[in-house]
Amino acid sequence: MQIKINETLRSYIEPLTQAEYTALEQSILQEGCRDALVLWQDVLVDGHNRYQICQQHGIPFKVTENTSFRNLEDVKLWMIDNNLGRRSISDYQRGVLALRKKEIMAARAAELVAQAAAEDAAIAPPEGDAGKRVPAMPLTSREDIARAARLSSATIGQIEKIQKTATPELVEAVRSGTISINAAATVASLPEAEQLAAVAGGKKELQKAAKEVRELRAAARPAKEPKEGREAAATSGEGGYGRPATEVDELRAENAVLREKNAALREEITALQKRLSELMGAS
C-alpha cells in the first residue's frame, strides 16, 4: 500500500521538539517500530514521525486502518482525543487541542440544529415552537473545555487570550516553556511591538514585562482598606511574608489556578469511578 500524507493532518498536532524527535529515533533504531501506524483508507493519521524515521532507516513497520472515520472532522477529533490521552504533552498543548475540539463539536451541533429545524418545518405547522428538537451543544462552556483538557477554567481562559492576541513569537515562547501560560497571557495584552521586544530579550525580559503589566493593573485598581493585621505590610509596600505585593499577587493567582486544576481532576476521578461502578454492575 502506498501511504499518503495529508499536510493538514500532519501539521494538526504540535510537532515534536528536536530533542523529542531524536529520542524517538533512538528508540526505534534500538527496539524497532513497536506501535502500528494508523491509517484512514490510505492516508496516514497517526505516526508521521515514526513513518519518517522508518523510511529513512529502512525499518519495517505495521499499519492498522480505522474504519470508523466518516470524514476529515472525524479524523481530527480522533487525533485530538488520542493526544489528550497522552501524559507527555504540555498544559498549553492540552488547552489548544480542547479548544479545537470545541470548534468542531460546536460546528456539528449547529448543523444538527439546522437539520432538525428543517425537518420540523417540513412536518409541523409553522406557528409555535412546540415539539422542536434542539440537540445539546457540547463543550459550550469554559468548564467543559477545561474538563476535557484536565486543566482549570482560568488556564483555558488564558490560553484563549494567547491565541487571540499573542504574536507567533510569544506563542512559540509558551510552547517551548520559556514563559508560563499565566505570564504569557499577561504579556499578550501588550502591543505587538512590545511583545516582540520582550520575546527578543529572553526569559528575564518576558518576566519583567509581565511584572510591569501586573503592576500597572494593580495601580489602576481602586485602593482597598487594609485588613486588620496587614497595615504594616501595606504601608511598607509588601504583600505579606516579606515579599513585594506584586509577587504575592502572582503567587496567589498561581495558587488559584492550581486549586481549580485540582478540582477539575477530582471531578474527572469521580466520573471515572462512577462509570467503573456501572460497568462492574452490568457485568
- Tens-place pLDDT, residues 104-122: 888 888 888 777 777 777 7
pTM over 0.75: no
**pLDDT tens digits, 237-270:** 444 444 444 556 666 666 666 676 676 667 667 7
* Overall average pLDDT of the 25-49 stretch: 95
Same-domain status, 10 and 64: yes
Same-domain status, 188 and 243: no
Pick from 47, 52, 49, 53: nearest CA to 65: 47
* Overall average pLDDT of the 5-14 stretch: 91
Residue 109 located in a structural domain: no
Note the pLDDT of residue 124. Answer: 58
**pLDDT tens digits, 162-205:** 999 999 999 999 988 899 999 999 999 999 999 999 999 999 99
Residue 226 located in a structural domain: no
Residue 90 located in a structural domain: no
Residue 190 located in a structural domain: yes
- Secondary structure letter of residue 137 according to DSSP: -
Residue 232 located in a structural domain: no
Q: Print the domain residue range for 200.
A: 166-221
Longest dimension (CA), the chain: 75
Mean pLDDT of the chain: 81
Note the pLDDT of residue 130. Answer: 46
Same-domain status, 1 and 65: yes
Residue 53 located in a structural domain: yes
Higher pLDDT, 235 or 58: 58
Same-domain status, 1 and 34: yes
Residue 91 located in a structural domain: no
Given 55, 70, 85, the domain boundary residue is: 70
Give yes or no for a contact between 76 and 8, defined as CB atoms under 8 angstroms apart: no
Q: Which residues contact 185 (CB under 8 A, 6 or more apart)?
A: 157, 158, 159, 161, 162
Higher pLDDT, 119 or 236: 119
* Overall average pLDDT of the 83-99 stretch: 86
pLDDT band at 20 (very low <50, low <70, confident <90, very high): confident
Note the pLDDT of residue 145. Answer: 82
Same-domain status, 204 and 265: no
31-35, 40-44, 103-107, 251-255, range with the lowest pLDDT = 251-255
Pick from 150, 154, 23, 40: nearest CA to 98: 150
pLDDT band at 40 (very low <50, low <70, confident <90, very high): very high
pLDDT at 52 exceeding the cut of 70 = yes
Residue 110 located in a structural domain: no
Pairing of strands 43-46, 37-40: antiparallel
Given 70, 96, 128, the domain boundary residue is: 70
Given 221, 246, 262, the domain boundary residue is: 221
Same-domain status, 246 and 276: yes
Same-domain status, 2 and 57: yes
Same-domain status, 248 and 214: no
Look at the chain and report how many structural domains it folds into.
3
Q: Which residues contact 166 (CB under 8 A, 6 or more apart)?
A: 174, 184, 187, 188, 195
